[in-house]
Amino acid sequence: MRLSVLDQSPIAEGTTGPDALRNTIDLARLADQLGYTRYWVAEHHGGLMLAGPSPEALIGPIASATSRIRVGSGGVMLPHYSPFKVAETFSLLSGLFPSRIDLGIGRAPGTDPLTMYALQRDRRDAAPDDFPQQMVELLGYLNGSLPDDHPFKHLARALPGIPEKPEFWLLGSSHQSAIWANELGLNYAFADFINPEGADPADLVCVSAICADSDAEAERLAASGRMAFSMLRSGRPIPVPPVEKALRYLENRPPPSGRRAVLGSPETVKRELEAIAKAYTADEVMVVTIVHDHPARRRSYELIAEAMIE
């Protein structure tokens, strides 16, 4: 089973966005050395917790800082963008880093409604809900499959990275996404960390996980993310808090529901990740880890690699 990384570039309390982005580059180098298959960066806008609004801007620096690992978006939220602009950007990246670039696209806004509105170029009307059409147009540019009578067909010949192109992935957390992936014959990545009730087969499943030397230590480290997501759900986003602060906050609150996280020692994490992959018939697991301390995040990925990468 292949192992990969999803990095949301978490901002720890007491640090800055640039610190979080430097940590992303550092973690990518480590993942490359440890043998992870791919390193994807996420798209989130307008919050205090995550420093990654622009995966297309991060992919180049990450690919430059690494030598082997595939680098991509997990993902580009296509409703915000022109399909042609996305095709140009990822064609360029593929030309610079042949056979190493992944283009994962998603439908979610990656933010709250007001910030989503701020992202719109034309604010006279609500943006159209035409994701399937956007996706087909984007694939048409990259694969040269636009119909002969399509007004933009000639643009596919001008992509800057030709003949290189990215590996295309559809990201999803719902049955509808699985339907689209099946209809279009696309690689499908399922966000189990968002919707642990998913039942459709996937090529890759993304799981929230924290690995430490013991189950108890992993549970302790998870408190930071739990507090941060609790505050986010209540409309009060914060940077990822230190463990002790988070433990005090969570002391009299019920445990979270609806978000599965794999927490524990290497043996525990290995067993649970393999079980989740089997449930989706996936041959690749992508791990997303939110903790306060960057050294603890590095150590988590090291322990998972030692346990699972041969």
Q: What is the mean pLDDT of residues 53-77?
A: 97
Q: Looking at domain 2-308, does it have CATH number 3.90.1150.10?
A: no
Residue with tokens 């159209």: 128
Percentage of the chain beyond pLDDT 70 is 99
- DSSP for 103-152 reads EEEE-S-SS-HHHHHHH-S--SSPPP--HHHHHHHHHHHHHT---TT-TT
Give the phi and the psi of residue 59 in degrees, each rounded to 5: -60, -45
Q: What is the mean pLDDT of residues 103-125?
A: 85
Q: What is the mean pLDDT of residues 176-197?
A: 94
Residue 116 reports pLDDT greater than 60: yes
Q: How confident is the model at residue 11 (pLDDT cuts 50, 70, 90)?
A: very high
pLDDT in tens, 12-21: 999 999 999 9
Q: How confident is the model at residue 131 (pLDDT cuts 50, 70, 90)?
A: very high
Q: How confident is the model at residue 252 (pLDDT cuts 50, 70, 90)?
A: confident
**What's the rounded Cα separation, in Å, for the pair 59 and 65?**
10
The more confidently predicted of residues 256 and 299 is 299
∠238-211-47 over CA atoms, to 5°?
A: 15
Q: What is the largest CA-CA distance in the chain?
A: 63
Identify the pLDDT of residue 122. Answer: 82
∠309-196-302 over CA atoms, to 5°?
A: 25
Q: How confident is the model at residue 129 (pLDDT cuts 50, 70, 90)?
A: confident
Residue 67 reports pLDDT greater than 60: yes
Residue 110 reports pLDDT greater than 90: no
